[in-house]
Amino acid sequence: MSKMPLFDLSEEKHLSSMPLAARMRPQTFAGFVGQEHLVAGGRVFRKCIESDQLPSMILWGPPGSGKTTLAHIIAGVTASHFSSLSAVSAGVAEIRRITGQAEKRARLSGQRTILFIDEIHRFNKAQQDTVLPFVENGTVTLIGATTENPSFEVISPLLSRCRVFHLDPIDDEHLNLIVKRAMEDKERGLAKLKVTLAEDALQHLVRMSGGDARIALNALEMAASATSPADDGKRLVKLAGIEEALQQRALLYDRAGDQHYDIISALHKSLRGSDPDAALYWLGRMLEAGEDPLYIARRLVRFASEDVGMADPQALLVAMAAQQAVHFVGLPEGNLALAEAAVYLATAPKSNSLYRAYSLIQEDIKRGRNEPVPLHLRNPVTGLMRQMGYGKDYRYAHDYPGHFVKQRYLPPSVEGKHYYTPGDQGYEKEIAARLEGWWNEEGEPA
């Protein structure tokens, strides 16, 4: 009986001890899934790497989007030595040891060293300063990985010597493909376990992984290992198994179907109806079911302008701050920022006067003439323009009491029309009084 070489046994044992996400890490661009804006054939990023024109770079993207995998692929394609550091545990001494080895390697063999720093945003200024001269003189090619905005987390001198590439969360279609590959792969995946996923289990796994391939694959492996094989040896992983592995119950919600539109409609109407409890409930239903938080943030921003408007101009600022908070800290921390915005919008005074005003503007522009700007509102940049009457009789508001003077601003065809009529809620009461003090009832200049 032939014996398997010791090396093969060691390699097989090593692979079996690794999590599925690590085992399934692709080795080439051909196997890499997602980030088409970077790695698709013909893209500048990929062409630079394949032509061995490799810059130092920062890979910025959410967890599980492929930053570490991409760094390994780059090292393989460029035949570079790969040295890895974790910013959580590495110190200045270790940085100097690696850069010293890189200098020696370049001198003796001419081989490039890629210094991969995971979670580079956790490097303090002293650590980043230590790396800087070796990046600058080409001793190492830096690839930093971060989930945080590098503009805030990486010192300017180091950032200026790196290209920043942004990675997106892996979309559901690509995540679906990654999961199926793992089930079918005989060497590194779960094919030996004969794993199949019930359709609702697959949908829940993909949706609740939130674009993170690592979460999806490791949850799949846990659920598969906990599923007993049937008489034919196959393991059918059901929804309950995926729920338990993810520790997340499948909620009745379909991001692409009726539930998606019904619940966002319920949230919008609850905000408009000034019911903070209902607003929080529908917000929670979406977030806990895996809805894209930035989609919700966009809807809150729209609501702030459409249904609160000038009754409380701060509403738009609060909604935009929530969007920025979600983008900056991600989930689950960002949930509270969205909840804060939802409660603020629900309890704010309401007005749709801006929405109605802009709708009237759209109609008039669509049906009306494309009229020229009245001469007195044009800037007389040249002598010829001055001779033609540009700026003639224009009255500069700051030269008058209260910084206001009545004059005509609309073109003749819509002169005297009212588009914006302030409501009687919140800040718009002040706006109405101010406009009344400036203009007469007809809205005409004196």
Phi, psi of 83 (to 5 degrees): -115, 130
Residue 159 lies in a domain: yes
Query: What was the pLDDT predicted at 347?
Result: 93
Give Cα separations from 395 to 390, 402, 407, 410, 411 (angstroms). 13, 14, 7, 15, 17
Number of domains in the chain: 4
Residues 274 and 224 in one domain: no
Q: Is 109 part of a structural domain of the chain?
A: yes
pLDDT value at position 304?
95
Q: Identify the segments of the chain with pLDDT beneath 50.
A: 1-9, 11, 249-253, 441-443, 445-446
CATH number for the domain that contains residue 232 = 1.10.8.60
pLDDT in tens, 287-304: 887 778 888 999 999 999
Domain span including residue 408: 370-438
Is residue 108 in some structural domain? yes
Shared-domain flag, residues 58 and 149 = yes
Q: Shortest CA distance to 259 belongs to which of 298, 286, 294?
A: 286
- Last residue within a domain, chosen from 166, 192, 217: 166
What is the predicted pLDDT for the residue at 17?
Answer: 72
Contact 217, 178 (CB under 8 A): yes
How far apart, in whole angstroms, are the C-alpha atoms of residue 214 and residue 149?
Answer: 21
Residue 149 lies in a domain: yes
pLDDT of residue 259: 64
Residues 326 and 414 in one domain: no
223 and 299 share a domain? no
Fill in the amino acid letter for 167: L
CATH code, 328:
1.20.272.10
CATH number at residue 71: 3.40.50.300
In the prediction, which pLDDT does 95 show?
85
Residues 114 and 213 in one domain: no
Q: Output the pTM of the full model.
A: 0.55
| Residue at a domain's end among 112, 136, 166 | 166
| Co-location of 48 and 146 in the same domain | yes
State the Cα–Cα distance between residues 237 and 223, nearest whole angstrom: 7
Which distant-in-sequence residues (6+ apart) come within 8 Å of 93 by Cβ?
Answer: none
The answer to whether 209 and 223 are in contact (CB under 8 A) is: no
Rounded distance between C-alpha atoms, residue 133 and residue 147, angstroms: 24
87 & 110 share domain: yes
* Beta pairing class for 57-60 and 163-166: parallel
Say if residues 110 and 103 touch (Cβ distance below 8 Å): no
- 342 exposed, middle or buried (CB, 10 Å; 0-12, 13-18, 19+)? buried
Tokens of 241: 């198994």
- Provide the CATH number for the domain around residue 402: 1.10.3710
Q: Do 159 and 42 share a domain, yes or no?
A: yes
| Boundary of a domain, candidates 193, 214, 246 | 246
86-130 pLDDT, tens digit per residue, is: 877 777 888 888 889 988 988 888 888 889 998 888 888 888 888
Q: Which residues contact 305 (CB under 8 A, 6 or more apart)?
A: 316, 354, 355
Let me know whether 152 and 60 are in one domain: yes
